[in-house]
């Protein structure tokens, strides 16, 4: 019985060890049905266009951009009218764009500027926190501040994940994983369709205000991190990996047949070392 449990746990761990991009749903985009009925979905072709930039500051409402955690409420019909079909699918229906398809992947962290919500134009991430995670989705390690994003536990893939939403309009941005670079150790893996990039040249006032908010948030925390991961986003994973660690160690310590293959005999111990490391890593993020 212990061997059966160990085999099941091993299969689960192999699934967890799959490439990071595998945690996303199959890439699709929306398009009107030829028959004029229900919305049909088709794969979206990767775009090689230059990153989209919002209009200059003179054409936008300054209070709307800088208001912290302002609440934007629209009906579903209004969202459909104001967003493109693909952006609506991602932001309002929690869809996922294909990897490597976003033009925002080409924006470098040294470019300066700000990534804002494509639905409500609220500042989300300073460009300096962007990095190449190798997943094919725009990735960041720290938002502007706690008024930029909010977190929801997502159980769609059974294993709990932390969904990232725009705090102003509730639009789905992507997910957060505890395997990013320092100083936060977090990876905000987001959909490019959910955001727009505003360069420093297009809006230097916005960039300056975002930096002010980030520095203020980091100062409150006593360090350089603007947003610490919520406890609720890490506890499910800590509990799950901790339980697996105990189960795997018990499997290793259980009596084995004399002719048991040494590879299978020691695999639970190796797997326990991995799940134990992940548990300790995630606990350290709460300290």
The catalytic residue among 117, 120, 166, 189 is 189
Distance CA 251, CA 259 (A): 17
Element (H, E) at 174: strand 172-177
Tell me if 145 sits within 8 A of 216, measured CB to CB: yes
What whole-number distance in Å separates Cα of residue 223 and Cα of residue 137? 28
Element (H, E) at 177: strand 172-177
Distance of CA 271 to the CA centre of its chain: 26
Whether 117 is catalytic is no
DSSP 91-145: HTT---PPTT--GGGG--GGG--EEEETTT--EEEEGGGEE--SSSS-EES--S-
Beta-carbon contacts of residue 243 (< 8 Å; ≥ 6 apart): none
Residue 182 near residue 131, CB atoms below 8 Å: no
Active centre residues (catalytic): 189
């Amino acid at each position: 019985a212990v061997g059966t449990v160990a085999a099941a746990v091993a299969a689960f761990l192999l699934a967890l060890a799959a490439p990071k991009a595998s945690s996303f749903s199959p890439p699709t985009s929306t398009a009107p049905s030829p028959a004029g009925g229900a919305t049909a979905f088709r794969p979206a072709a990767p775009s090689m266009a230059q990153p989209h930039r919002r209009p200059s500051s003179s054409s936008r409402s300054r209070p709307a951009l800088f208001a912290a955690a302002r609440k934007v409420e629209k009906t579903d019909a209004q969202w459909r009218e104001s967003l493109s079909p693909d952006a609506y699918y991602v932001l309002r229906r929690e869809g996922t764009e294909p990897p490597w398809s976003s033009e925002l992947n080409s924006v470098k962290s040294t470019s300066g500027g700000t990534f804002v919500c494509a639905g409500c134009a609220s500042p989300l991430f300073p460009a300096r926190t962007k990095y190449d995670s190798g997943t094919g989705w725009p990735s960041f390690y720290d938002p502007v501040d706690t008024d930029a994003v909010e977190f929801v536990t997502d159980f769609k893939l059974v294993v709990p994940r932390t969904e990232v939403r725009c705090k102003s309009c509730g639009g789905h941005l992507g997910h957060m994983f505890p395997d990013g670079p320092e100083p936060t150790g977090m990876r905000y893996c987001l959909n490019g369709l959910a955001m727009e990039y505003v360069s420093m040249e297009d809006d230097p006032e916005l960039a300056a205000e975002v930096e002010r908010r980030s520095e203020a948030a980091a100062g409150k925390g006593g360090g350089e991190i603007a947003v610490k991961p919520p406890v609720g986003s890490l506890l499910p994973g800590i509990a799950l990996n901790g339980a697996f660690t105990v189960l795997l160690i018990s499997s290793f310590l259980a009596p084995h047949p004399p002719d048991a293959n040494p590879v299978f005999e020691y695999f639970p111990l190796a797997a326990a070392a991995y799940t134990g490391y992940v548990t300790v890593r995630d606990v350290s993020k709460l300290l």
